[in-house]
Amino acid sequence: MANPLIRKLEQHGPLSEEERHVLEQITFRTVIYQPREEIVPEGSSPTHSSLILSGFAIRHNHSPDGKRQITAFHVPGDFADLHSFLLKPLDDGVAALTTCKVANVPHSDLKEITKNYPYLTRVLWLSTLIDGAVHRVWMTTLGRMEARERLAHFLCELRDRLQSVGLMRDDSYDMPITQEQLGDAFGMSTVHVNRVLQELRADDLITSSGKTLIINDLEGLQRQAQYTPDYLHINQKVERD
């Protein structure tokens, strides 16, 4: 598979051969993490940022009594903690949801990019701004949507994010997220998550087969979720000059 970061960034405009080479060079140092293994410990001050090359990861916080809140699901092509380049210590952590191949990109390399590659800097900056947009929409769904709408919205979002890095298969995609993890992300009990997913299946909006999710009626699911993908800015172009 081609470097998912390059594929993701080129949606915002073509990269030069030199810029592509730079991205290949800074992402060649890789580590394999097993499910539930910490990629970036909560509260740490890493000297590199973690790029997900394969697998799924989560960002999370823990309350003082130890309860977990999942604040993001990361897929291939995502920098899970690009903000750690400047923000130290981190107020959250990153963990592997599945087996993950992760490129550890030294902050010294990112610093050189900001010095020498202004266009690449702007495109990477855009990716952190989109992360912020996703967080704002999640807050809106948590505060203003019913559970059924909330989960339908996430399933639509995940579809578009995976499609942007070439990981959709017709109308299906890998969905290795457990009901417990969905509950930790969207403020629901596991029983409630299960009930909502059963309702979406009963209405023939989705089907699941193992860890594969099939969207049977995309327009219906989008209507249920009041979903539009504008906040993902998938095809927004960045001016080179």
Structural domains of the chain sorted by starting position, each given as residue range(s) with its CATH number in brackets = 4-106 (2.60.120.10), 138-232 (1.10.10.10)
* CA 205 – CA 84 distance, rounded (Å): 38
- Please report, rounded to a whole number, the percentage of residues in the chain having pLDDT higher than 70: 100
Q: Give mean pLDDT, residues 171-176.
A: 96
> pLDDT, tens digit, for every residue of 85-142?
999 999 999 999 999 999 999 999 999 999 999 999 999 999 999 999 999 999 999 9
pLDDT of 203 over the 90 cut: yes
Mean pLDDT taken over the chain = 95
pLDDT on residue 125: 96
pLDDT of 61 over the 90 cut: yes
Contact criterion met (CB below 8 Å) for 196 and 148: yes
pLDDT of 1 over the 60 cut: no
pLDDT of 2 over the 90 cut: no
pLDDT on residue 96: 98
Q: Give mean pLDDT, residues 30-53.
A: 97
Q: Give mean pLDDT, residues 190-212.
A: 96
Q: Is the pTM of this model over 0.85?
A: yes
* CA 94 – CA 145 distance, rounded (Å): 26
pLDDT on residue 66: 85
* CA 179 – CA 196 distance, rounded (Å): 10
30 by DSSP, 3-state: which? strand
50 by DSSP, 3-state: which? strand
- Please report, rounded to a whole number, the percentage of residues in the chain having pLDDT higher than 90: 95
Its sign, for the CA torsion 133, 123, 110, 162, is positive
* CA 30 – CA 224 distance, rounded (Å): 40
Q: How far apart are the first and last CA of the chain?
A: 31
Closest CA to 126 of 11, 29, 222, 47: 11
